[in-house]
Every structure is written in C-alpha cells, then in structure tokens.
Copies of this chain bind each other. A is one copy, B any other.
Amino acid sequence: MIKNLPANTVERLSLYRRILLNLPADEKPFIHSHRLAHLLKINAAHVRRDLMLIDFSGDIHKGYDVRKLIDGIGEAIDCIYIQKVAFVGIGDLGRAVAEYFNHTETRLQVAATFRLEGEAPDFKDVRCYHISRMKEILKKEKIELCVLAVPSDHAQEVSKELVDAGIRGILNFTSAHLKVPSNVYVEQYDMICKLEKLAYFTNKDHCGNNFEK
C-alpha cells in the first residue's frame, strides 16, 4: 500500500476510477492518458504523474489496461475494510447517494442518515433517524465519516457532537468554518461558491459563451 499520496492525487485517482467504470463499452479495454485527461478536462501530464505515483504504467501503443487500472487505483486508495458514512441534515441526499454507492466499486457504505426535523422513510437498508439519536447511532454503528449539511448556524454545534461520537472525517456542505481537533479531517464544500462560479460563466454580461475553464 502506497502511503502519503497528495490530497489532489487521491481525489483525481478516485475520479479516474469513476470515469473508467462509466466508460462507453466501445472504449474498453484500453485507454490513453490524453483520452482520460480529456474526459476530466485536465492535462494529460497530470494523469501520467498521478499513475506514476501509484506505480502504474501503460503500454506505449495501447495505453492503460482499464480493468487493471481500476484495480490498481483500488489498491492505492481504498481501505481494506468497509468504511461507513452518515449523512447529517439531508436525508434525501443521503438516500440518493446511497443508491449511487450500490452501483459502484467502492469500499464506502452509507450506513445512516439523520434529519433535523420530522419523520422520514428508510431507504432500502439505510435508516433515517432524528438527529437527537445521532451520537448513539454513530457510536453503535462505528461510523467514522459523515457529510454535514445542516443549516450553517447549527454546523459548529453538530460537528462537536460528531467529533464526540468518534467521527474522523467531515465533508462540510455548510458555509460555516468548523473548529475541530487536528486529527479530524474536514473537506469543505460550499455549494453557493460553485453556483456563483456557474452563474458567472453563464452570464452574458461577462463572457457569454466563450467561457474559459
């Protein structure tokens, strides 16, 4: 197992795998770095460097063996055991993602979703609980990862409970800057920023259709 890959490389490796798993049937079983790069709108040198970091090489003529590359990425980034994920604040999103997960090769499993208010139906094997039961369930299910999507003014309070319950990684959908211990990994995702970027590039006053990526 390769240690200490850079964060951006890990994210791209995961993305390569998702792209490879979704390739049209006529593109398999081999792919060139520039084709993979094109599908991701990045530079082919990035692809080659990332795959060198996990000691994966291709055939100079045929390119990379797609099936072997999928497996190679798995060996490099996947945990040997299944890691459980909880969705906090948005039950529907959790259920939608749970459904994607059932169709992908990943070692992540959506184990629970929590709602701030009201009742919600369970989804297949994923239970939806009221947030008052969050600490209890997270501990019982040994859940270490979560997606946090509560209203921003509740985010710090909820994240404290998450940390107390043993959560080690938070994908933060709120706009709050979370204060957590240094051994908890926070990945920030601010949807409003993505939407404002989208708005900028679709706005005729700025650059119309000639957007620069």
- Chain A residues within CB distance 8 Å of chain B: 1, 3-7, 10-11, 14-15, 18-19, 22, 39, 77-80, 83, 85, 89-93, 96-97, 99-101, 103-104, 106-108, 144-145, 147, 149, 151-152, 168-171, 174-177, 182-183, 185, 187, 189-203, 205-207, 209-213
Q: A183 to chain B: which residues have CB within 8 Å? A: 209
Asked if A190 and B97 sit within 8 Å, CB to CB, the answer is: no
21 A-B interface contacts by CB (under 8 A): A1-B205, A7-B212, A7-B213, A11-B193, A14-B193, A15-B190, A15-B193, A22-B176, A22-B177, A78-B196, A79-B199, A79-B206, A85-B195, A96-B149, A97-B192, A106-B196, A108-B195, A108-B199, A169-B199, A169-B201, A185-B211
Known: A7-B197, A107-B199. 11 other contacts (CB 8 A): A1-B206, A3-B206, A4-B212, A7-B201, A90-B92, A97-B192, A106-B192, A108-B192, A170-B198, A171-B198, A187-B194
Listed from nearest, the 10 A-B pairs whose CB atoms lie closest are: A169-B202, A92-B92, A169-B198, A168-B202, A14-B193, A14-B196, A183-B209, A11-B197, A79-B203, A185-B201
Q: Are A192 and B14 CB-contacts (below 8 A) given A169-B199, A198-B185?
A: yes
Q: A203 to chain B: which residues have CB within 8 Å? A: 79, 83
Q: Bound state CA distance, A3 and B90, in angstroms?
A: 37
Residue of B nearest to A89 (CB): B96
Asked if B187 and A147 sit within 8 Å, CB to CB, the answer is: no
Q: Bound state CA distance, A18 and B188, in angstroms?
A: 12
Q: Are A100 and B198 CB-contacts (below 8 A) given A79-B205, A192-B18?
A: no
Q: A190 to chain B: which residues have CB within 8 Å? A: 14-15, 18
Asked if A185 and B202 sit within 8 Å, CB to CB, the answer is: yes
Q: Bound state CA distance, A91 and B185, in angstroms?
A: 29
